[in-house]
A and B are shown apart, each in its own frame.
Chain A
């Protein structure tokens, strides 16, 4: 596996005495697709929000390409080459598609005045790449007029615009139709094919198993399992493992021909 792109060391986030994430080591290498799994409240979203700089960790270190980062925030995270597609998509629905694609990183000429022509042209190109083939929507369309899947398309277009090294996707297939889900998968494969990394968070284990090469399962703020696709073997075994996490007495793991998944503390 390639260069270590980003690493979180013993990272923790607590709200008062409640730990949302309690001391987690986590990393993403260049060119890999990592699947992050876990039940509701396991701390997945908190973890990726810390990665995106949207919330500040209570303790722990963030390293980007081996270098320790201080004063980590959303702007720095994006400058470091991390683009996050948030669960709520982080759109401004009264603004146009162009404005949302360039939200926080406007293309400007002198003195901060917008390069509106270039923004519009780039937005049009990105929309085509993402698969907005319909002529109904132009870069000037208001995002509030779009369906859920189309809004997701805008968020994805924003994420790829800057050739980010790592694209983090928090439950990108939730509430999407089958064709739209397939579009998201094609998107992830295209990003992976370009030698870039994806961190894919999902509830649908089949989706995550299909798309990722390495899995991290979180449980109550800690990492419960790290395993590669070969180690896991099949989506069914991953599901069984997660069910056992949720119901320690209940369900048996089917016997496996391969290696046993390595359980982490």
Chain B
């Protein structure tokens, strides 16, 4: 074999550059999350400048913190689902359904902790069902989960005749104190939600499951050829979504001491917006839990901020849509997709 000529491929190797520093590596790996954080800070600065009377005082932050935990419980598992290359639009109904089970257990006079366990189990089972429809039966996740959302919500409304369940008995229980009180002026649910975010972040970045979620979303054929059970990984993300939705349902019911048949409605668009604002791309294989959490914070502030700044509620919908489009454009420009 003669070595007298080179192929273009050999010559096209990039020039050597010094190895990246630890700081640089951090920004490379967390590019999307850092980008989202910058957007969030800029947005808050604009809000403060536009409406100092509102945004330089505590109440607005308090109102955001009350709603945020529920959003976090939905957004973080949704990051897994989007990263694996699917979408789940059924979580609002799953949230309502699981919370319903919780309310029924508590209303029957049983322990609220039993209710929580029952709700989480319900959420996971519903997630497994949705996952089976999408993965085993091979339906389009966009359409099948949308159908499930309406079917489950309809079922709830038919059975309850649209009636809510008041759970005043929760007020003086240990469960009530654990999940619905304040610590140093912070709603205690914020800490539970943060713990959930940290847990999910570890699962996503440091655990075999997260690695496989990314591999399957990246290239399901490669993952399967290397012995990964692709169907099981995909269904697991839906089960995890069900778990998060159930947790969100329990938390929101605990805050209000009431379960409504519409529990979960209204979270669909904000939760999806948060995932994409957070920097998880639509094409699968990569995602960021931290970014998703910051995205949830951003979207919550937009919702509260617009109303607090004196604009009517009509603007919320407009800005929710606007931020999805802007987020997609921004991350498209900021991220490179490898094929």
Which residues of A approach B to under 8 Å, CB–CB? Answer: 52-54, 73-75, 77-78, 84, 86, 88-95, 99, 103-106, 108, 112-114, 116, 134-136, 138, 140, 142-145, 147-149, 158, 176-180, 182
Report whether A103 and B222 are in contact in the complex, using a CB–CB cutoff of 8 Å. yes
With known contacts A92-B222, A103-B226, A178-B7, A114–B208 Cβ distance under 8 A: yes
Interface: B329 (CB within 8 A): no
Instruction: Spot the interface stretch: B8-16, B180-188, B236-244.
Output: B8-16
With known contacts A93-B219, A144-B338, A149-B9, A112–B226 Cβ distance under 8 A: no
Interface: B211 (CB within 8 A): yes
B129 CB to closest chain A CB, in angstroms? 25
Q: What number of A-B contacts does a CB cutoff of 8 Å give?
A: 119
A109 CB to closest chain B CB, in angstroms? 10
Q: Which residues of A contact B25 (CB under 8 A)?
A: 140
Report whether B1 and A95 are in contact in the complex, using a CB–CB cutoff of 8 Å. no
> Could you write out 16 A-B pairs with CB less than 8 Å apart?
A53-B227, A73-B227, A74-B227, A75-B227, A90-B219, A91-B222, A92-B219, A103-B226, A106-B212, A113-B207, A114-B208, A134-B13, A142-B338, A147-B12, A158-B226, A182-B1
Report whether A136 and B9 are in contact in the complex, using a CB–CB cutoff of 8 Å. no
Q: Which residues of B contact A180 (CB under 8 A)?
A: 9-10
B205 CB to closest chain A CB, in angstroms? 9
A102, closest chain B residue (CB): B211
Report whether A90 and B19 are in contact in the complex, using a CB–CB cutoff of 8 Å. no
Report whether B226 and A136 are in contact in the complex, using a CB–CB cutoff of 8 Å. no
With known contacts A52-B225, A105-B227, A113-B206, A179–B219 Cβ distance under 8 A: no
A137, closest chain B residue (CB): B14
In the complex, A179→B10 CA distance in Å?
Answer: 8
**Cross-interface CB contact of A106 among B15, B208, B221, cutoff 8 Å:** B208
Q: Which residues of A contact B12 (CB under 8 A)?
A: 147
With known contacts A95-B218, A135-B16, A178-B1, A116–B338 Cβ distance under 8 A: no
With known contacts A94-B338, A140-B25, A78–B226 Cβ distance under 8 A: yes
